[in-house]
Amino acid sequence: MKTDVFIGLGSNLQEPSAQLAGAVAELAALPDTTLIAQSPFYTSSPVGPQDQPDFVNGAVWLSTGLDPHALLDQLQAIEQAHGRERFSHWGPRTLDLDLLIFGNHVLDDDRLSVPHCELPNRDFALQPLLDLKPDLTLPNGTAVAALRAQCPDNRLRRLLPPDYS
């Protein structure tokens, strides 16, 4: 049985938009997983230390047969393949993949919390989720749109798609 999941993507190093585009392709190729939709990309101020470049963020909607921890392992492998280094909390990164929502599952253990515990405070995650599914709700019934309406502003700006002409 497959579950609808939503993954947040972020990068602020080494051509962030290209990092995210590559990650979307890799997520679409995961075993027992189908890419349903991809959000537009946005720029936003960094969370935490401000002495780093702005981030590019987006989200994808997947349908997967993987369990939450197996999916987390896959996400971390993709991050590693993109050169992710964990030097500091909320520091700059080549790629960050966050498991935001995993169907109606609520999980909080030493490796994973879903829905993502910081989701209500992250406009750069909430807005892409709304782009993917405007009526999306958390397992507790809270509408993502209601969270977005109350979320602090992080200088979120939608990026225009690349012009390949």
**Given pLDDT bands bounded at 50, 70 and 90, which one contains residue 88?**
low
Residue 132 lies in a domain: yes
Q: CATH code at 104? A: 3.30.70.560
Would residue 98 show up in a list of annotated catalytic residues for this protein? yes
Calpha distance 143→122 (Å, rounded): 14
Q: Does 75 map to a domain? A: yes
| Known catalytic membership, residue 93 | yes
Instruction: Check 54, 73, 86, 98 and give the catalytic one.
Output: 98
Residue 165 lies in a domain: no
Decide if 89 is inside a domain: yes
Q: Is 153 a catalytic residue?
A: no
Task: Give 109-161 pLDDT, tens digit per residue.
Answer: 999 999 999 999 999 999 999 999 999 999 999 999 999 999 988 899 999 87
Residue 164 resides in a domain: no
Which residue of the set 4, 54, 67, 84 is catalytic?
84
Mean pLDDT of all residues in the chain? 92
Instruction: Answer yes or no: are the C-beta atoms of 44 and 57 closer than 8 Å.
Output: yes
Catalytic residue among 93, 110, 131, 158: 93
Q: Report pLDDT digits (tens) over 18-40.
A: 999 999 999 999 999 999 999 99
Residue 66 lies in a domain: yes
Angle at which helices 68-81 and 16-28 cross, to 10°: 140
Is 163 inside any structural domain?
no
Residue pair 125/57 in contact (Cβ under 8 Å)? The answer is: yes
**How many domains would you assign to the chain?**
1
Q: Which of 5, 33, 4, 12 is nearest to 124 (CA)?
A: 12
pLDDT band at 165 (very low <50, low <70, confident <90, very high): very low
Of how many residues is the chain composed? 165
Domain interval for residue 79: 3-158
Q: Is 103 among the domain residues?
A: yes
